[in-house]
Amino acid sequence: PYGIAVLGTGSTAPETVVSNDDLSEVMETTDEWITQRTGIRRRHVLQPEESLVSLSVKAAKKALKDAQLAPEDVDLLIHATSTPDDLFGSGPQVASLLGAERATAFDLTAACSGFVFALVTAAQYVRSGAFKNVLVVGADCLSRFVDWSDRSTCVLFGDGAGAMVITQTEASKDALLGFEMGSDGHGACHLGVCAENEQSVSVGGGKVASSTKFTPLGMNGKEVFRFATSRVPKTLSKLLERSGVAPEEVDWLLLHQANRRIMDSAAKRLGVPQEKIICNLDEYGNTSAASIPLALDEAIREGRVKKGDLLACCGFGAGLTWGGRRLLT
């Protein structure tokens, strides 16, 4: 078996920015409410003529450049998203537009845990030797799936994409030190973008649904908050304990960027100091599957996260799903 090496990262967000003040002009909300309850100040949103695929390609290009690999070097591309341009999957299009003509590509959906699930999946292929160079992209455009008249949800989300290139190395140099994943469908009702059948047509002796649409994102914020604040520290402490790492050995805590209060609470329960939290929530809001690679890439560009740093990372979200990993950059 091989080990995993991280070769590079890249990220991007749409140019159009919507501030909390912009929102307060069109709905009953204030910058103060949003900032205090969530830590979010701005979010980037796709314009109607833009696509998620173009965002994913942009982030993927940057990651390849950082990894010093050519598109033809990519063997596998996993596109983690819940909001593809095409419900059949956008990964193959991302690969083709990138010029990754040799790559096998597919989509993986696990909401805000998507990037962690995709990275862990990618790692299994690399470990087994099935694929060598894998590009993992996390991208979402939830701005297209929220109800812009529902202040309790639309203020939370933004669009973005982040990517990471991993490859084979010696097993003794493995950068992915451990992972922990889980899901609980009983909580699906707390957060979802659900298919809705508006019409049906009679065929043969029965009926089939037609004109299927999606309901705007619905969320029980309090339940999701409760789930995240209990599940995230549990997942990470299990992970650290299993691999014999003390909380003080963790260089960075990299959590899904949903709410600053969730991050603070997890850090406190884990015994990790606040200054070790990587957070760019103020600029982007919750970008779902993009949030972890976007925050990591920015922290690397800013020179905060350095080669050899130990990261404790956890995604959580709809499904309900959660996944954690420890990664050496």
Residue ranges in contact with ligand ACO by CB under 6 A: 29, 33-34, 37-38, 111-112, 151-152, 155, 191, 219, 221-222, 224-225, 228, 258-259, 286, 288, 317-318
Q: What is the DSSP string of 78-127?
A: EEE-SS-SSTT-SHHHHHHHHT-TT-EEEEE--GGGHHHHHHHHHHHHHH
For the bound state, the minimum distance from the C-beta of residue 102 to ligand ACO, rounded and expressed in Å, comes to: 33
Nearest-CB residue for ligand ACO: 317
DSSP state at residue 308: T
Cβ proximity to ligand ACO: between 127 and 151 the closer is 151
Tell me the two tokens of residue 100.
């990754």
Q: For residue 150, give Cα distances in angstroms to 46, 82, 216, 286, 311.
A: 19, 20, 10, 16, 35
Token pair recorded at residue 226: 């409760």
Smallest distance from the beta carbon of 34 to ligand ACO, in angstroms?
Answer: 6
Nearer to ligand ACO, 166 or 258 (CB): 258
User: In the complex, what is the shortest distance from the CB of residue 221 to ligand ACO, in angstroms, rounded to a whole number?
Assistant: 3
| Beta carbon nearer to ligand ACO, 98 or 262 | 262
Closer of 36 and 200 to ligand ACO (Cβ): 36
Closest CB to ligand ACO among 169 and 220?
Answer: 220
Beta-bridge mates of residue 314: 255, 324
Q: Of 20, 280, 286, 314, which is the active-site residue?
A: 286
Residue 3 or 182: the one with the smaller Cβ distance to ligand ACO is 182
Distance of CA 314 to the CA centre of its chain: 10
Return the amino acid letter for 110. A
Q: How far is the CB of 126 from ligand ACO (least distance, A)?
A: 26
Whole-angstrom CA distances from 30 to 18, 262, 273, 305 are 13, 21, 30, 33
Active-site residue among 133, 256, 313, 314? 256
Instruction: Compute and round to an integer the Cα radius of gyration of the chain.
Output: 19
- For residue 222, the minimal CB distance to ligand ACO (Å) is 5
Distance CA 152, CA 218 (A): 10
State how far the alpha carbon of 83 is from the alpha carbons of 217, 297, 304, in Å: 11, 21, 30
Cis amide linkage into residue 320, ω under 30° from 0: yes
Smallest separation (angstroms) from ligand ACO to the CB of 15? 23
Q: Are 289 and 84 in contact (CB under 8 A)?
A: no
Cβ proximity to ligand ACO: between 179 and 316 the closer is 316
Q: Compute the least distance from the CB of residue 1 to ligand ACO, in Å.
A: 32
Cβ atoms of residues 301 and 66 within 8 Å: no
Please identify which of the residues 20, 79, 112, 133 carries the catalytic annotation: 112
112 is catalytic: yes
Amino acid identity of residue 122, one-letter, is: A
Catalytic residues: 112, 256, 286
